[in-house]
Structure 1
Amino acid sequence: MEKIPELQRLGITAVELLPVFDFDDTQVLRTGPDGTPLRNYWGYDPYGFFAPHTGYCAEPHLAHHITEFRDMVKALHRAGIEVILDVVFNHTSEGNEYGPTISFRGAANEAYYHLWPQDRSRYMDFTGCGNAVNANHPMVTKFILECLEYWVTEHHVDGFRFDLASEMSRGPMGYEMAVPPALWAIELSQVLSETKIIAEPWDGGGLYQVGRFPGKRWAQWNGPFRDDVRRFVRGDAGLVGEIASRIGGSADLFFPQQVLPTNSINFVTCHDGFTLNDLVSYNHKHNHANGEANADGAHENFSWNCGVEGPSDSEEVERLRVRQIKNLLSVLMLSRGVPMLLAGDEFRNSQQGNNNAYCQDNEVSWLDWEQAEKETEVRSFTERVIALRKRFKTFREPRFFTERRNERGIADVTWHGTRLDCPGWDDDEARVLAATLGGFQGDPDLHLIMNMYHLGLDFELPDIDGHRWYRVLDTACGAPRELLAPGQEEPIEADTFHAHGRSVVLLVALPDEKGT
């Protein structure tokens, strides 16, 4: 509640909370190299599905768990911010056959869990956590639905993000079901009809359902968006076709499913992996503090350290890192779909290169609010680039590009490279992409340039009758001139624009009389 003004200032419209169901935060998972006991910090191991976590209460001894949680939800709602809960129905804290008996194992073991048919004492594991919930057993589906409806009716939350949601589409023997009862029960529930339902559309057993997750209402974490944008911005070649798809709402993934760009949750970073600062500061993960000999966490992060591994005193390296952060934020905010930010990325929060900090209840994972006060440039840019997205409806259109034309004859999208109408789809060395975006319903026409080559390049600009191009965004410019407020746009006098290496540029077409 204390940080609500910070969220409002940034322009955040919803917060997605890591699991708030009660879990055991006292169990020691292992000991770190320095002897520090490591515990479950993220909360992805629930056992109290109808109870707010005791450790998050300000006054747990007074048993005000529910009151405190409701007060937080009410305060966020008064600020115009929705509350989305990260929920875990793919596994429980009872673990495998050697784990504790807390609830489901003792009540109806064969109903609640996937068990090996040749040995019913052993647990199938599609989650990496020891067990897998048999979500599509009628009794388990009923339990899941009643739990979700409880948090909506009693606590007025606005939606849910389902951890490893693909596991919930597995039926008997663990096979993928075409029409999973649990997922459709959630989609069709009258109580949940006004809520957001968001899937992490994969699981730990290899089931990957991005773009084909069962149902129509479900939004999906767009893993290809994360990976393609990371690779493109770090300078990988031959990705312009993929980037065009991601900017347009990932039609290659979602159009065949007959859903919308708003079904795509676009993100570059999340709790699981590098922070945005670490993405541009480390080539390799540094998870030694987790006590697993750096074997845990994703091995491939599509990151680039800008020339130095970890913190650097070089002003040149720091300038490049800040620019790369701005590039990543710009691509995220100027793409169709629903953008998601990791808390702390707006002020360059670092996890010291740890990309799996689930067991680090210390300075590695904590948000450093003193750092937030020091880091004004990225904080300011984040606020302004969110406002830029809200300024132009083009980026928030709930439809894919169709080449329809506006009253000025400009198509909703025309793709280019450095030369007009030459996007270089088949160029394996291409690191640039530009697009003219036609404005509708009173929106102006826009021209987007992304140059991820290390050298500056000249880009041809299209001619729009009666209009002149003005610069709104150029991540190569120093703060605060890199993103200009309405009325402060700078005119472009030539029919080309020189985009510096590793930069994102946005131009707006305004009537000629503004320039005269």
Structure 2
Amino acid sequence: MTLKSLPGESYPLGATFEKDGKNGVNFCLFSKHATLIELLLFDEPNAPQPSEIIPLDPKINRTNYYWHVFIPGLTAGQVYAYRVHGPYDLENGYRFNPNKVLLDPYGKAIVGSSIYNREAAVELGDNCAQALRNVVVDNETYDWEGDWAEHPRLRTPYASSVIYEMHVGGFTRHPNSGVSPEKRGTFAGLIEKIPYLKSLGITAVELLPVHYFDPEDAMKGLTNYWGYSTISFFAPYHPYSSDQSPLGPLNEFRDMVKALHKAGIEVILDVVFNHTAEGDERGPTLCFRGIDNETYYILEKNKAHYKNYSGCGNTFRGNHPIVSRLILECLRYWVSEMHIDGFRFDLASVLARDASGSPLEEWKTYAPDILWVIESDPVLAGTKLIAEAWDAAGLYDVGRFVELADWFSEWNGPFRDDVRRFMRGDDGMVPCLAARILGSPDIYHRMDIDINRSINFITCHDGFTLNDLVSYNEKHNLANLENNRDGANDNYSWNCGIEGETNEPEIEALRLQQIKNLLTILFLSQGTPMILMGDEVRRTQRGNNNGYCQDNQLSWFDWDAVEKEYDLWCFIRRLIHFIQGLELFRQEGRLEVTYASLHHPHISWHGMKLGQPDWSSYSHCLAFSLRHPEADEYLHVMFNAYWEPVEFELPLLGHGDCWYRIIDTALPLNQTFCELESASQVTRESYPVQARSCVVLMVNPIS
């Protein structure tokens, strides 16, 4: 029986459940070049064929480029999809194929993961029985229990933030996670581990992509684990939910956000607006390609091919008006309806390319349209906006997002590289390290910004784990089935003398010392620190520096390691709490450099001798003093990346004051960190800093 339909409205886009007298669903889809659109309604999520096919008449159901229809009587939970008719003319960029069942670009929920087949979407034939579908959503029924209404948004300042980059699935998927089997690798599983994050001192989790992605976008026999293969920007990934009902993932995701907020932890989403899972001309037709290919993607002059600035086959056309509107409304949705606190923009430099793919010339003086639209939007005001300020085609814009945009912050790639090279013992790195410690003034020139908009990190999902950074000289990616061609070749790593796992006590002790060194530098530097999931317990990927396709114990969090590496975990926890408790590290302005006593926070540089930093290319040592007179905080820090011990002079103190040793990474792990109240007094006028180690001293203000 054919359902009754009405013409519908051209806004809002997507499927909108309407109550209050109308009682039905309005469907709206943009397509400039389609000749006919069919709305498919399914009785069950995995039904092989639709129960109803509703053709949209161009004369009745189209306004300009918007196709729309209203179906009375439909409710939330209705499963739907589209077929779109139009020309199949590759040279002109048209890829319409009515054999393909297509997702709604604005769809809020997706089902069909158990029947989905990527190859069926690649072939020209009908794929209805193996296609994903959308579900109509009613967002008004969820109980937020006062989150953002009775309880204000967290909006933790960058200066007080510690970010934990993590994978929702990998965090609890390991059998030893202690999470019940049905909740492993899910939003609900993460909820159970919130006390762990809270105890560590984490203030924000940065989740690898949770937008619905294509797990089959990987080499045959492997799985796309990281999720940088987006199918739908509005829908949470269904397999990350223990509740497999059509609307279960939405509610479970919101349960997770609500629980994290109650614990004082913000939620930042990694969003991938630079490409989609549809890949290049050999890829599947899932959504955008079949709806209006030329609108959504940047094409070559021969429009049968895609420009590839993402390294993943295609490039999303972010500065096209239709696409930029989709991006903005997507971000608004995740903030307003899902209570997200911020976003990390994967390969954000793609958004600094114009609609044809060329780098925007005006980017030299002000932010491109889409970036300005995002940061000036009132719904997004107050959210954290973090750019990965480069793309896969050579654009490297570190410094530019912060320089030309007023609210974006950035992953600081040079911080990662320079700190690694310094502790590895490379020549000429002392001046670079000093710049990174001071908040990278050589990169971030503006004086009117929060210096903590530099997101500092040593490791992230892309590359070696912290343990592997000090255990491998070379990548070992053969398990990815690409003959070790994938992954970065320049890792600035050092295996400390033996490649890979070893039982040699001296090598293991040095590796552990290097881990402590790297973490100490990270947290003592101006900027916002970010750590990678599992680094606190030496998670290893056995030298694989591109684990995007390793959905197995190689990538998962090993919860047995929490006990095995408990002393390291305690060191990091104490380090975080120590730094977070000092006013010196809550400054939003850059510390002034001085060699004289001032009445406001400042830093002074030293070498082995006071006031004589060695900036030469052969130096491997740096010392500095940090002082906040108003807070009565005074630290002296010494870094020795040399392979022999070095004696550092200590600043002279006034009568009654003395130095106390807070950190010495050359000491056994359980002695590396001491609280000020129990720290050992340093009575000498100099301190012997052992080879490849860091020392932090502090004056006890009540001494």
Please classify the TM superposition score into its range, dividing by the shorter chain length: over 0.9
Letter in 2 for 1:479: L
Cα 1:53/1:406, change in 2 over 3 Å: farther
1:444 to 621, 633, 636: 633
Kindly indicate whether residue 332 of structure 2 is the aligned counterpart of residue 142 of structure 1: no
Measure how far apart 1:371 and its partner are.
1.9
Measure how far apart 1:307 and its partner are.
0.8
The answer (yes or no) to whether the contact 2:348–2:390 under 8 Å persists in 1 is yes
SS at match of 1:47: strand
1-side partners of 2:296 and 2:447: how far apart?
30
Kindly indicate whether residue 383 of structure 2 is the aligned counterpart of residue 195 of structure 1: yes
Alpha-carbon displacement from aligned partner over 1:146-192 (angstroms, at most 9, x marks no partner): 00000001110100000000001100331222131111111001000
Map of 1:272 onto structure 2: 462
SS at match of 1:84: strand
- Structure 2 gaps of 5+ residues are 1-190
The answer (yes or no) to whether the contact 1:211–1:257 under 8 Å persists in 2 is no
2:239 to 26, 39, 55: 55
Map of 1:82 onto structure 2: 266
CA RMSD of aligned residues (A): 1.6
Q: Which moved more, 1:62-71 or 1:77-86?
A: 62-71
Map of 1:184 onto structure 2: 372
Cα 1:222/1:132, change in 2 over 3 Å: same
2-side partners of 1:363 and 1:59: how far apart?
24
Q: Which moved more, 1:258-267 or 1:381-390?
A: 258-267
Kindly indicate whether residue 617 of structure 2 is the aligned counterpart of residue 428 of structure 1: yes
2-side partners of 1:228 and 1:85: how far apart?
27
Alpha-carbon displacement from aligned partner over 1:74-119 (angstroms, at most 9, x marks no partner): 0000000000000000001111122222221122222211112x31
1:65 to 239, 246, 249: 249
Map of 1:324 onto structure 2: 514
Map of 2:642 onto structure 1: 453
2:350 to 146, 149, 167: 167
Cα 1:404/1:257, change in 2 over 3 Å: closer
TM-score normalised by the chain length of structure 1: 0.95
Map of 2:676 onto structure 1: 486
The answer (yes or no) to whether the contact 2:273–2:318 under 8 Å persists in 1 is yes
Measure how far apart 1:28 and its partner are.
6.0
Letter in 1 for 2:621: V
1-side partners of 2:601 and 2:453: how far apart?
24
TM-score normalised by the chain length of structure 2: 0.70
Q: Which moved more, 1:151-160 or 1:213-222?
A: 213-222
SS at match of 2:623: strand
Map of 2:315 onto structure 1: 132
2-side partners of 1:356 and 1:170: how far apart?
26
2:279 to 80, 95, 99: 95
Letter in 2 for 1:343: M
Letter in 1 for 2:290: G
1-side partners of 2:575 and 2:498: how far apart?
27
1-side partners of 2:607 and 2:653: how far apart?
18
SS at match of 1:480: helix
Letter in 1 for 2:381: S
The answer (yes or no) to whether the contact 1:406–1:438 under 8 Å persists in 2 is no
The answer (yes or no) to whether the contact 2:600–2:630 under 8 Å persists in 1 is no
Measure how far apart 1:411 and its partner are.
6.9
Letter in 2 for 1:103: C
The answer (yes or no) to whether the contact 1:17–1:86 under 8 Å persists in 2 is yes
Measure how far apart 1:409 and its partner are.
6.2
Map of 1:34 onto structure 2: none
Map of 2:489 onto structure 1: 299
Measure how far apart 1:469 and its partner are.
1.4
2-side partners of 1:251 and 1:167: how far apart?
25
Alignment of 1:207-246 (within 5 A): 207-213=395-401, 214-246=404-436
Cα 1:390/1:471, change in 2 over 3 Å: same
1-side partners of 2:247 and 2:321: how far apart?
33
Letter in 1 for 2:642: Y
Map of 1:310 onto structure 2: 500
Alignment of 1:348-427 (within 5 A): 348-403=538-593, 412-425=602-615, 427=616
SS at match of 1:415: strand
Cα 1:176/1:257, change in 2 over 3 Å: farther
The answer (yes or no) to whether the contact 2:335–2:379 under 8 Å persists in 1 is yes
1-side partners of 2:294 and 2:476: how far apart?
40
Q: Which moved more, 1:439-448 or 1:42-51?
A: 439-448
The answer (yes or no) to whether the contact 1:451–1:503 under 8 Å persists in 2 is yes
Measure how far apart 1:406 and its partner are.
9.1
Q: How many residues align?
A: 505
Letter in 2 for 1:184: W
1-side partners of 2:217 and 2:269: how far apart?
25
2:393 to 197, 205, 217: 205
The answer (yes or no) to whether the contact 2:428–2:619 under 8 Å persists in 1 is yes
SS at match of 2:335: helix
Measure how far apart 1:441 and its partner are.
2.9
The answer (yes or no) to whether the contact 1:394–1:443 under 8 Å persists in 2 is no
Measure how far apart 1:415 and its partner are.
0.5
2-side partners of 1:487 and 1:78: how far apart?
31
Map of 1:343 onto structure 2: 533
1-side partners of 2:447 and 2:690: how far apart?
39
Map of 1:469 onto structure 2: 659
1-side partners of 2:439 and 2:504: how far apart?
37
SS at match of 1:487: helix
1-side partners of 2:414 and 2:342: how far apart?
23
Alpha-carbon displacement from aligned partner over 1:453-477 (angstroms, at most 9, x marks no partner): 1111110111132321111111111
2-side partners of 1:208 and 1:241: how far apart?
22
2-side partners of 1:308 and 1:39: how far apart?
31
Cα 1:143/1:408, change in 2 over 3 Å: closer
SS at match of 2:443: helix
Cα 1:139/1:408, change in 2 over 3 Å: closer
Letter in 2 for 1:159: G
SS at match of 1:38: coil
2-side partners of 1:282 and 1:163: how far apart?
27
The answer (yes or no) to whether the contact 2:447–2:589 under 8 Å persists in 1 is no
Cα 1:183/1:435, change in 2 over 3 Å: same
SS at match of 1:255: coil
1-side partners of 2:454 and 2:202: how far apart?
18
2-side partners of 1:63 and 1:399: how far apart?
45
Cα 1:411/1:146, change in 2 over 3 Å: closer
2-side partners of 1:165 and 1:392: how far apart?
33
2-side partners of 1:173 and 1:259: how far apart?
32
